[in-house]
Amino acid sequence: MIRNQLSSGLLRQRLARPRLANVYSGQPRYLSLPPRNSSVIASLDSGPNRRRLGPFPESAKGQAGAALRTYAQILKAMAYGGVGLGVAAAFAFFGLHVWVEYLELPPGKRGQKNWDSFYGWDDEFVGWGAGYLGGGTDPRIGWRARSLVRAAWVAENWQSDQVADKSDDSASYLVDSAYTSAQASLEEAVSMAKEAGLKLDQQNTPDRGLVELQSRLANVYEKINTPLSLVKAFQIYLNIWNACVAFIDRQEDQKGSGIWEMREALRVALVLGDIGLKISSSQASGGQESTSVNKTEAEQYLTWAISTGLGEAVGDGSIFRLHCSDHKRPTSQDNLKGSLLSLSWLGQQGNNSTQLSNSLRSTIDLINYTLEALAFSQVDNKTISKKERLNDTFPAAIRATVSSLIRFSVHLVSSDHGVAYEFQNHLRSFLRSITSEIEPSGASPDANLHYLWLRSREALSSIYLAEIGYASKNLDDTAVISQCLTALEKLDAILIALESPEESFQPGRTRQSSGRLFEVTKALRRDTRLTAAMASNIIGLRLEDCQSDVIGNLRARFKDSSISPSEFFKRAMRYSNGSFEEEERLSQAFHESERNLSRVEERLRSD
């Protein structure tokens, strides 16, 4: 039997693994032998349903120590992380301030070799306290105020996810929170600057650093564009204007002094007139008396800027008498300075609206006569040469004067189309005479930009003249279209010229690394595109009312077979859309052109 069992076992393919028998039956098996004189921690036979024994005091101390060491490491890591985060935040904070101070706030530095200060383009750049020195903020106002100025710049230019915020007006206006943040920072910075000793009053020389800060604050108020903010901006500009004019009066006998103050007074007078007209429009529902006073005051600031600028254009700057036998001279006033420009005349409130209207009409007649005489270069019975007409303040002063003239002509449209048409006609002749005297070839970048600026305003004046002439029945459709087409050719040439590789015109990664004239070039390009879009829209609208034979004559005259309403509406959209950054898109003009094009295409489909 034993043999049978052994033989059957040999035939098995798989043999079971032998088990080690426990010598001491009934004794529990352990994972490891416990040390002598110690208790068993846990049994291998203990099931999941049996209660586990807790650790003994020696093991509890070890586990507590390990836990404390872990917590200490976590706290140490948190402390190191907090310190590192604080150091990184401090570096980021100071790095941001250094970046803004030295790379974003100063004006452009490229293209300094061909710099020509005669044309006054540097005064077009409004700095942040030390722009007139080529820097960022003014060191005199202290580090706290300088930080607030930089914070205002960051809020105005880099703040993202802007939300609507309530303004401080009595009515609930919602404004961009970026502007409210910039406003709060600049208000505190201006207050600190005044505490530091910077003054802006009629008894002292205007501090240019404080003028820049005040101008920046007023500009933010303008962007907020609520009735109360416009009044605040008007008051700030009025203080600047009073300080500059008072300084000019004190330095009247000293030749060559007060050049910057004169330029600033002309620039601010234009802004005062513009804001004053906005305030008068917003107060129209509040009472005729209040509105008429503000409107009259705004008109007076505009005429002051015009008259003073025309006096500077001749080169006198104080007395500007005209004697020309070929033109009828106004009999109500003998010289511009003695009547129009007396400072006591500004701000006077008249009760007789007819008298104010007659006074304004007399002023307009004198300005028209002056523009006509200057267009023919006839002053004091002699021809004025280009050299005699240009003094130290002429280029910047003439730009401010032309801007005031255009703004005033637009304002006159709301009063009398006939007067506005006559005024605009004299203005266009005056601009043509100026641009014909300038020789841009081989000139400096400053001179070229000045010439392009005047050419763009000449085209704008021609377009305004065509629009006002059509409204006043002085021009028919053909004359309006011809005039706008001629202006459009000039505007296209200006846009091509602004693409010059001149270093002063080129953008940079930051403002400081940009060309010295980049900002004014960018503004001129935007204005030129807007003017071209406006001209294209006017041409398209007038072509809709023209007969086919008139359109054929226009195509033959200008040698352009693409003259049609839809084509010019498309051109207006291209001018508005731009070919540069998306932010340069002129949305309002683009949508207007798009609506006009849609109307024309829908009418063509229906026909």
pLDDT-derived band at 413 (thresholds 50, 70, 90) equals confident
pLDDT at 495: 92
CA distance 148 to 192: 10
Mean pLDDT of the chain: 76
Asked if residue 460 has pLDDT above 90, the reply is yes
Q: Is the pLDDT of residue 506 over 60?
A: yes
How far apart, in Å, are the Cα atoms of 394 and each of 373, 379, 400? 17, 16, 10
Lowest average pLDDT, out of 326-340, 392-406, 496-510, goes to 326-340
- Torsion 269-196-157-121 (CA) sign: positive
Has residue 399 got a pLDDT over 60?
A: yes
Q: CA nearest 122: which of 144, 107, 100, 140?
A: 107
pLDDT at 315: 42
- Tell me the three-class secondary structure of 354-418, residue by residue: HHHHHHHHHHHHHHHHHHHHHHCCEECCEECCHHHHCCCCHHHHHHHHHHHHHHHHHHHHCCCHH
- pLDDT single digits (tens) 159-182: 765 566 665 665 567 788 889 899
Confidence of residue 146 (pLDDT cuts 50, 70, 90): very high
Which residues lie across from 501 on neighbouring strands? none
Mind listing the pLDDT tens digit for each residue in 258-281? 788 888 998 999 999 999 988 888
User: What's the rounded Cα separation, in Å, for the pair 217 and 233?
Assistant: 8
| 174 sits in which H/E element | strand 174-176
The pLDDT of residue 191 is 94
pLDDT at position 164, please? 62
* 165 beta partners: 175
- The per-residue pLDDT for 140 is 93
pLDDT value at 387 more than 80? no
Lowest-confidence pick of 23-37, 134-148, 351-365 = 23-37
Closest CA to 529 of 579, 481, 473, 583: 579
Q: Is the pLDDT of residue 452 over 90?
A: yes
- CA 272 to CA 280: how far, in whole Å? 12
320 — pLDDT class (breaks 50, 70, 90): very low
Residue 391 CB-half CA count within 13 A: 18
Averaged pLDDT for residues 67-78 = 89
Mean pLDDT on 559-568: 74
What was the pLDDT predicted at 168?
Answer: 61
Q: What is the mean pLDDT of residues 491-517?
A: 88
Checking if the pLDDT of 390 tops 50, the result is no
At residue 35, the pLDDT reads 57
This prediction has a pTM of 0.77
Closest among 192, 79, 69, 61 to 139, alpha carbons compared: 192
Please check the confidence at residue 234 and state whether its pLDDT lies above 60. Answer: yes
Q: What is the mean pLDDT of residues 39-43?
A: 49
Question: Which has more confidence, 251 or 140?
Answer: 140
Q: Which amino acid is at 217?
A: L
Q: What is the pLDDT of residue 338?
A: 31
Give the mean model confidence (pLDDT) for residues 581-597.
64
* Cβ neighbour number for residue 87 with a 10 Å cutoff: 10
Q: What is the rounded average pLDDT of the residues 93-112?
A: 87
In whole angstroms, what is the distance from residue 254 CA to residue 375 CA?
A: 30
Burial 269-301 (b: 16+ CB within 10 A, else e): bbbbbbbbbbbbebbeeeeeeebbbbbbbbbbb
Q: Quickly list DSSP for 305-361.
A: HHHHHHHHHHT-SS------TTSPPPSS-S-HHHHTT-GGGTT---S-HHHHHHHHH
Judge contact between 530 and 589, C-beta under 8 A.
yes
Quick check: 114 pLDDT over 80? no
- Compute the average pLDDT of residues 552-578: 76
In this prediction, residue 491 carries a pLDDT of 94
